[in-house]
Amino acid sequence: MSFKVVLAAVTAGLAFVATTPGPAEAAQPAQAITRCGQAIAASYAYLTKDLTCTQGFRISGRQAPEAPPVIVTIDLRGHRFSGQGVGRGVDFSSNRFFVGDVYTLKNGRISNWDNGAVAGGYPTITVSKVVFENNEIGFWCEAECTIRDTVFRRNGVGLLDTYNANVVRTAFAQNRIGVDAAYYDVVSGTNIEYASFDSNEIGVIARAILHSASVRKSLFTRNKVGLTSGSDVDSPTIAAMDNVFTKNYDGIYIKPDVEYDARNVQLRRNIALRNSRYGIYAPGATDLGGNRGAGNGQACVGVTCTRP
């Protein structure tokens, strides 16, 4: 399969990435959010205007196992919710022993917070058509998270995943780290498909015991490094398949580590083109075939690359 065919397929998958918030949904019983720090009591709450606050919104999950699950949607309705560099913008917190709480955050911009949004305690949350920008951490996922049609731009860390995040049709640009696939104490994973990573210091870093990272059908351009492993890894599984890495300093760079079993890195049908240093550097990785490279500063290491 040629580079142009693969690039066209990846670009088609990114066609629906939200660069502007989506329209407000039809009217339903709801609570208007009109001021900073307002208590959210309804299952559907919406922003009525742009807000700049020192205090964000906290939505708490159920506190007893016999209580019904909490289901809450926060609709920004195209508005900007800004902080002043500290605190959490939107904090969805659940008791980790009472599973079942369901949250949705959509349709707007969240900027200039220490944490733009946090989902803690392992609820289920969907983030859709949100632009996270100029936060220290855009979104911290300690939950079952689905992130789609969203933009992470100019954050310290775009997405910090410490449980299980599924990312689709989402763009990461000009962040220090686009996706940090980390962990606490659970077997978990980060799954990325049809994403774009442009001009980040690091596109995706996988750096955790027990955690797996899967990156498929995504485009990496102009990053210092597209996909890498951290120095504190303990043999997580990293699967990179059907991606395009072009015009980065390093496309894929798996750090040498005597305690790291590089065979857990699985590479298949990636294209590395015109990267300044390495297109693919993954000594000891599992080569599943079909990787291609051309015009890179160094030849592929750890896998066989044919020309696109």
250 has a pLDDT exceeding 70: yes
Binning pLDDT at 50, 70 and 90, where does residue 188 land? low
Three-class SS of residue 198? strand
- 50-54, 185-189, 253-257 — which is least confidently predicted? 185-189
Of 13-22, 41-50, 266-275, the range with the lowest mean pLDDT is 13-22
Domains and CATH numbers, the chain: 3-294 (2.160.20.10)
pLDDT at 198 over 80: yes
pLDDT at 64: 81
Count Cβ atoms within 10 A of the Cβ of residue 185 and give its class: 0-12 exposed, 13-18 middle, 19 or more buried. exposed
CA nearest neighbour of 169 among 219, 134, 121, 120: 219
Q: Is the model's pLDDT at 18 over the cut of 60?
A: no
Looking at residues 202-230, what average pLDDT do you find? 89
Residue percentage of the chain with pLDDT more than 70: 83
pLDDT at position 184 is 54
Question: How far is 98 from 133, CA to CA, in rounded Å?
Answer: 32
Write down the pLDDT at residue 21.
44
H or E element that contains 13: helix 3-13
What pLDDT was estimated at residue 256?
A: 74
Burial label for 263, CB within 10 Å (0-12, 13-18, 19+), is exposed
- Whole-angstrom CA distances from 44 to 29, 47, 226 are 7, 10, 38
pLDDT at position 61, please? 78
Whether 144 shows a pLDDT value over 70: the answer reads: yes
- pLDDT of 19 reads 45
pLDDT of residue 235 exceeding 60? no
Indicate the average pLDDT of the chain: 87
Residue range 281-302: mean pLDDT, rounded: 95
What value does the mean pLDDT take over residues 195-222?
Answer: 90
More confidently predicted of 122 and 173: 173
Instruction: Give CA separation, 82 vs 59, 129, 207, in Å.
Output: 18, 16, 30
pLDDT band of 6, cuts 50, 70, 90: very low
Predicted local confidence at residue 208, as pLDDT: 64
pLDDT tens digits, one per residue of 42-101:
899 999 999 999 999 988 778 788 888 889 999 999 999 999 999 999 999 876 667 788
Residues 217-225 have a mean pLDDT of 98
